[in-house]
Amino acid sequence: MSALEQPILVSHKLCPFVQRSVITLLHKKIDFTIEYISLERKPDWFLEISPLGKVPLLRIKDTVLFESSVINEYLDETHGKPMLPTDPLEKAEHRAWIEFSSSINNIQYQLTQARREETFVKIEEDLNKKLAHLEKRIGNQGFFDGKDFSLVDSSFAPFLMRSKILADNTGVDTVSDYKKIQKWRENLLLLPEVKKSVVKDFEDLYMESIYERGGYLADQ
């Protein structure tokens, strides 16, 4: 495939939803081009093609896909070994957990933005309730469900990567009470498709964005 025919992923370096699609593209060994944009100053061409004004977008010839979970399912259906179960009930359950991972991403973002300790603690309580459900569901064979890397794994990996960076830099580890999630995190963060799914200076950029905000977490 020539570079001109490759799918183009319209991206932002810090976006966990973009990262999910990068992980899936890398896992499936699909050639692609990445185009970063500023979300503070969204280019006109982006606003013209992005119905929600959000990244990621995947441009395939004249078609524009949006919503990371939809992009990932398209990539899964068109390339290589399926990353979702074939049984409809199991597939629906995996999709539900992918949806759940989106809310976890949003809560993690809110946690990094909280200015006051009181707000931070409330958000952390909400996150804990949700993580307790996740802890009960995940398997203990290295991945979300069994021994194979699935779309649920690619969807949670961005949250887990950020939780590790936050733990290393602030001492606040949001998954410290959850042994299975910790093991899962260790396992996922060793995978090449996860390691290579962010820019080289991601940790610095991510922490800078948190220190710039100057919230409760930045003071820890």
- The residues annotated as belonging to the active site are 15
Cβ nearer to ligand GSH, comparing 7 with 56: 56
Which of 176-179's residues contact partners 24+ apart within 8 Å by CB, and which partners? Answer: 177/128, 177/131, 178/131, 178/132, 178/134, 178/135, 179/135
Q: For residue 176, give both structure tokens.
A: 């410290």
Answer whether the bond into residue 88 is a cis peptide, omega within 30°: no
What CA–CA distance (Å, rounded) separates 138 from 140?
Answer: 7
Cβ nearer to ligand GSH, comparing 50 with 182: 50
DSSP-assigned beta bridge partners for residue 35: 10
- Coil, helix or strand at residue 8: strand
Residue 39 interacts with ligand GSH (CB under 6 A): yes or no: yes
- The interface with ligand GSH within residues 102-161 (CB under 6 A) comprises 102
Among 9, 10, 25, 55, binds ligand GSH (CB under 6 A): 55
Q: Nearest-5° angle of CA 28, CA 33, CA 37?
A: 120
- Window contacting ligand GSH (CB under 6 A); options: 1-9, 51-59, 112-120, 179-187: 51-59
- Window contacting ligand GSH (CB under 6 A); options: 48-56, 78-86, 111-119, 124-132: 48-56
Least distance between ligand GSH and beta carbon 103 (Å):
10
Residue 68 interacts with ligand GSH (CB under 6 A): yes or no: yes
Residue 189 interacts with ligand GSH (CB under 6 A): yes or no: no
Residue 97 interacts with ligand GSH (CB under 6 A): yes or no: no
Residue 166 interacts with ligand GSH (CB under 6 A): yes or no: no
Residue 53 interacts with ligand GSH (CB under 6 A): yes or no: yes
Residue 199 interacts with ligand GSH (CB under 6 A): yes or no: no
Nearest of 194, 156, 148 to residue 178 by alpha carbon = 156
What CA–CA distance (Å, rounded) separates 9 from 71?
Answer: 10
What CA–CA distance (Å, rounded) separates 19 from 218?
Answer: 23
- Window contacting ligand GSH (CB under 6 A); options: 3-11, 50-58, 82-90, 132-140: 50-58
**Cβ atoms within 10 A of the Cβ of 5, count?**
10
Residue 12 interacts with ligand GSH (CB under 6 A): yes or no: yes
**Cβ atoms within 10 A of the Cβ of 105, count?**
20
Least distance between ligand GSH and beta carbon 106 (Å):
8
Least distance between ligand GSH and beta carbon 115 (Å):
20
Residues in the site for ligand GSH, rule: CB under 6 A? 12, 15, 17, 39, 53-56, 67-69, 102
